Amino acid sequence: MSQCRELLSQHNLGLGPDLVNTTAYVLRLSSATWEAETQFIEALRTCLTSELTAKGPTFDSLNGSYVLFDSNKKVLISRTTPSHELLIPPVGSSWADQEIGINPISECFASRTSLCCDFTLKSTNTTYKMAAIPVFLGSGEWLGVFAFIGDLEQNQLDIDYLLYFYTIGLSWFSESSMKVEVELARAFERDIKKQEMLILSAKRLHALIDTDSVLMEVVNNVKAVFPYVKMEVFLSQDYQSSNELIKPLDFQGKENRACTRAFMDGQIVVERSLSASSNIKVAVPLSGKQGVYGVLSIECEEDFFEQRDIEFISMIADFGGASLENAKLYEQSYMLINELRLINEITQRLNQSLSLNEIFGFVSSELVEIFGAEYFCILQKDKDSDKLTVQASNLPEMFQEVCSIHSGFSGVMYSTKEPVIISDYWVNPKVKSRLMELTNSRSLIASPIIVKEEVMGMILVVHQKPNFFSYDNYKLLQMLSGHIGLAMTNASLHSEVKRMVITDNLTGLHVRHVLDEQINISQKKDFCGSFILIDIDNFKSVNDTYGHQVGDQILVQVSSIIKNSIREHDIAARWGGEELAVYFPQINKEQSLRIADRIRTKVMKETSPLVTISCGVSDWNWEDDNISVESLFYRADMALYLAKNSGKNQIIVDAAKE
């Protein structure tokens, strides 16, 4: 905007008879167009008000009013005393010549020359003193008329007083105009400074890739121009900062409604205080191309803020929003690279382990380290029931705890197959959680472990601080749970294959080579052991009479009786056909004989159809000359042969050693 270098040109501004001709008084403004003077007029309004208020006693003694018209006789600025309300229309209205007759203001509009004289309003027969001064732009274009109106007693109607009044008015206008020029010059300097700061700020912000640095650059730039304002930056809750000026935006709180609206709408929100303090709060969104990342909140007294100040802050915020987006994208790409590296490392570790216990142990340590969690739980679904078992947790009282698959956050994830994130459990605990309540936690991220559309389990990670976990943590846990699910599946399949290799598919007992291996190991480290070889009597007749399916059922029944009659570390196996075997480490033949008789009695009573068994028993101890698996088997087989040929349904103990 061009500056007003010569706001006022006064000629012959002295008191004396030569001042009767007042046409020499002309106001000239240097700007070339009326549009360029809009800011000037607004500033002039403020200056005239403050100047005339300061000089009020002198002006009030004249009972004077002033008014500035544009070239269309529209009132731009006015100060009207009660006695002049009939003469001067309100701001925004137009001067009406026909209502008050010929007068100096109308003559000034007609001749565009200064005029100072008496004027009598016919409707009230009241005489006024009136001075009208034409105002021109620097280009020569006529702007309008500036006029003073005063009331004087009849004995004061001398020309000197009238000119004195006119001169004072002109002097006030001149002083006010000069103050406007000074204020405009200062405003121009401030605008230049703001432009320079915008350019410098844009350069600095463009070079920053750290979120906190970007935000503080924005704050410092605004503070440099407006040191008296109170500022805060509110970001979405997925970002945590140690800087006290950077805070999470509470979308449910009532204190920051302006910031919430600015964030949601992406528009500047101006909120004026309803109290007597006359404060103004401006919420400016920090926006990028992909959305709104935060809000810059500024609060100060309303008198200190203008529209152009808000526009300047908005430009700073736009630069900051673009830089914040770049910083976020850089951080996200860096985080994504780290996440991919982390997932790759974890996947490699998980694939190296084929034990569920090892997997749970490794995942437990990683969950605490990756997410900074205070507590966690890994639950596994039971295949045969709607129950979940806590397989890993750093909370001892929850380890191996069994719960329903429909309870708590586990129930939510099981029904929706979607992960869960809770910013503050205390605010709205709609879903009851034993883990959250036991640990007094407020933040939670949880994910179901899904393999082939089936929920295998859940992972829950919690922290006692609210808003602790970010949305990135939430997504990372979801990805990790998929890899953990695959590892659990592989471990389960490996365990099943291993079990199938060492377990007879029909009876659930070990296969014979496992029995051979375990006896061989026992004979190398133990002091003694005993062996029972069992044969189902007349088993061929059972198959011939009832069919092979019933024969298989008999095998299963007898095997179940054997498993329920021995210790956990005793080894039962299917020897072949209808022959079964049991090895008892660290047990002599007298003890094994009692166990064999207990098995024989149960078989005779509990099988359907009823069958009997014959048993051969052998043993070894460390004092024997010949200790071998083959010798143990041979002697038991010979004893069984004797039992079968001696009437069956009996137990024969090997006497070869004796």
The residue out of 467, 497, 527 marking a domain boundary is 497
Residue in this structure with the two tokens 């997504």, named with its chain if needed? 475
Residue 110 belongs to a domain: yes
What's the pLDDT score for residue 330? 82
Q: What is the mean pLDDT of the chain?
A: 79
What's the pLDDT score for residue 571? 93
Residue in this structure with the two tokens 């010549």, named with its chain if needed? 97
Check which CATH number belongs to the domain holding 157 and give it.
3.30.450.20
DSSP 8-state assignment for residue 299:
E
Lowest mean pLDDT among 161-170, 345-354, 512-521: 161-170
Residue 9 belongs to a domain: no
Dihedral angle, C-alpha 522, 526, 529, 535, nearest 10 °: -10
Report how far residue 515's alpha carbon sits from residue 573's, in angstroms, rounded to the nearest whole number: 6
What's the pLDDT score for residue 13? 30
Please give the average per-residue pLDDT across 186-215, as a whole number.
80
What's the pLDDT score for residue 55? 46
Q: Is the pTM of the predicted complex or chain greater than 0.85?
A: no
What's the pLDDT score for residue 43? 52
Residue 502 belongs to a domain: no
CB atoms within 10 A of CB 142: 14
| 512-525 helix and 629-645 helix, angle to the nearest 10 degrees | 120
Cβ contacts of 281-287, under 8 Å, gap ≥ 24: 282/310, 282/313, 283/258, 283/259, 284/310, 284/313, 284/314, 284/317, 285/317, 285/321, 286/218, 286/233, 286/317, 286/320, 286/321, 286/324, 287/317, 287/318, 287/321
pLDDT tens for each residue of 210-255: 888 888 888 888 888 888 888 888 887 566 667 778 888 877 666 6
Check which CATH number belongs to the domain holding 327 and give it.
3.30.450.40
Report how far residue 4's alpha carbon sits from residue 645's, in angstroms, rounded to the nearest whole number: 133
Does residue 278 surpass a pLDDT of 80? no
First to last CA, the chain: 125
Ramachandran angles phi, psi of 568, nearest 5°: -65, -35
pLDDT tens for each residue of 285-340: 988 888 888 888 888 876 666 777 888 888 888 888 888 888 878 877 877 777 77
Does residue 101 surpass a pLDDT of 70? no
Ramachandran angles phi, psi of 162, nearest 5°: -60, -45
Are 96 and 236 within one domain?
no
Does residue 108 surpass a pLDDT of 80? yes
Report how far residue 277's alpha carbon sits from residue 299's, in angstroms, rounded to the nearest whole number: 12
Are 320 and 401 within one domain?
no
Residue 182 belongs to a domain: yes
The CA–CA distances, whole Å, from 415 to 1, 378, 408, 486 equal 66, 18, 11, 21
**Which pLDDT band, with edges at 50, 70 and 90, does 137 fall under?**
low
The residue out of 454, 473, 497 marking a domain boundary is 497
Give percent of the chain above pLDDT 90: 24
β-pair type (246-248, 230-235): parallel
Does residue 632 surpass a pLDDT of 50? yes
Closest CA to 282 of 252, 258, 256: 258
Closest CA to 232 of 246, 243, 221: 246
Are 315 and 361 within one domain?
no
**For residue 64, what are the domain limits?**
17-186
Residue 241 belongs to a domain: yes
Are 326 and 410 within one domain?
no
**Which pLDDT band, with edges at 50, 70 and 90, does 277 fall under?**
low
Are 441 and 548 within one domain?
no
Are 371 and 440 within one domain?
yes
Are 368 and 313 within one domain?
no
Are 181 and 36 within one domain?
yes
pLDDT tens for each residue of 415-470: 999 999 998 898 877 888 889 999 999 999 999 998 888 888 899 999 999 988 88
pLDDT tens for each residue of 468-485: 888 888 888 888 888 888
**Which pLDDT band, with edges at 50, 70 and 90, does 152 fall under?**
low
Please give the average per-residue pLDDT across 87-115, as a whole number.
78
Residue 11 belongs to a domain: no
Are 480 and 530 within one domain?
no
Residue 517 belongs to a domain: yes
Lowest mean pLDDT among 284-298, 333-347, 600-614: 333-347
Does residue 572 surpass a pLDDT of 90? yes
Token representation of residue 188? 């121009």
Check which CATH number belongs to the domain holding 547 and give it.
3.30.70.270
Are 274 and 391 within one domain?
no
Residue 339 belongs to a domain: no
Report how far residue 191's alpha carbon sits from residue 197's, in angstroms, rounded to the nearest whole number: 10
Does residue 8 surpass a pLDDT of 50? no
Are 290 and 394 within one domain?
no
Contact 11, 25 (CB under 8 A): yes
What's the pLDDT score for residue 2? 28
Q: What's the total number of domains in the chain?
A: 4
The residue out of 441, 464, 497 marking a domain boundary is 497
Are 517 and 614 within one domain?
yes
Adjacent-strand bridge partners of 144 = 70, 135
